[in-house]
Amino acid sequence: MKTRERILAASLMLFNEDGEAHVSTNHIADELNISPGNLYYHFRNKEDITLEIFAGFRQRMEALLDAPANRGIMDLEDVWLFLHLVYETIWEYRFLYHNLVDLTRRNRTIRRRFHRLIRKKEQAGKDLCHSLIAAGVMQASDEEVEAVATSMALVATYWLSFATVRADEQGEVELAPAVYQTLSLMAPYLREPERGYLGRLAEAYR
């Protein structure tokens, strides 16, 4: 692995473990056992590192969020898998979500691009609902779809902070309950067989 890639990988690990605000370029250099000068050869400062990590996250997340529109008709299991992939990506870049308000206040570029991601989350929620409606397993008006999609984006954006504060002493955060909680927003609009499926999922995560 090239030095630049090692710097990004180590930075992501430290940001996730300690929080981006608490990690300096010296910490990153120490983790890699390289000189600060070597690090600055590849990145001018920590902000450049953060922006490049965010760019990788954004590319992956946008590709995921575009999938429902490109996939066509999906069933509830497809939605379940899609949400798992979304939450797995959020977990891999969790430092962004743990300190989202502070980070977006400090970095205008991240703030602007995260706004776009939130809009894409809402659109993905609408696409999921419309796909289930087309499959005949969901019935909802345009206004109801709009409300469900906004709630899905809200849960996906802030679930990690909620779950972290709520976690046990070991700090364990599980992704499956987040998927169920997001899916449950659709429950009032699903036909009975699919509601039963969600009920079985709820039992599995109690």
The upper half-sphere exposure of residue 102, i.e. CA atoms within 13 Å in the direction of its Cβ, equals 9
- The structural architecture, per CATH, of the domain 51-204 is Orthogonal Bundle (1.10)
Chain-wide mean pLDDT for the chain? 91
The pLDDT of residue 147 is: 97
pLDDT bin (cut points 50, 70, 90) of residue 171 is low
Judged against a pLDDT cut of 80, whether residue 201 lies above it is answered with no
The pLDDT of residue 170 is: 53
Portions of the chain given CATH number 1.10.357.10 = 51-204
The pLDDT of residue 176 is: 83
Pairwise CA distance, residues 104 & 204, whole Å: 36
Q: Identity (one letter) of the amino acid at 89? A: T
- State whether residue 122 is helix, strand or coil: helix
Burial of 113 (0-12, 13-18, 19+ CB in 10 A): middle
Burial of 115 (0-12, 13-18, 19+ CB in 10 A): exposed
Q: Identity (one letter) of the amino acid at 34? A: I
The pLDDT of residue 168 is: 62
pLDDT bin (cut points 50, 70, 90) of residue 128 is very high
The pLDDT of residue 205 is: 63
Judged against a pLDDT cut of 90, whether residue 133 lies above it is answered with yes
Please answer whether residues 19 and 45 qualify as being in contact, where contact means their C-beta atoms are separated by less than 8 angstroms. no
pLDDT (mean) for 151-157: 96
pLDDT tens digit sequence for 43-86: 999 999 999 999 999 999 999 999 998 877 888 889 999 999 99
Can you spell out the DSSP letters for 162-174?
A: HHHHHS-TT----
Portions of the chain given CATH number 1.10.10.60 = 1-44
- The structural architecture, per CATH, of the domain 1-44 is Orthogonal Bundle (1.10)
Which phi and psi angles does 181 have, rounded to 5°?
A: -60, -40
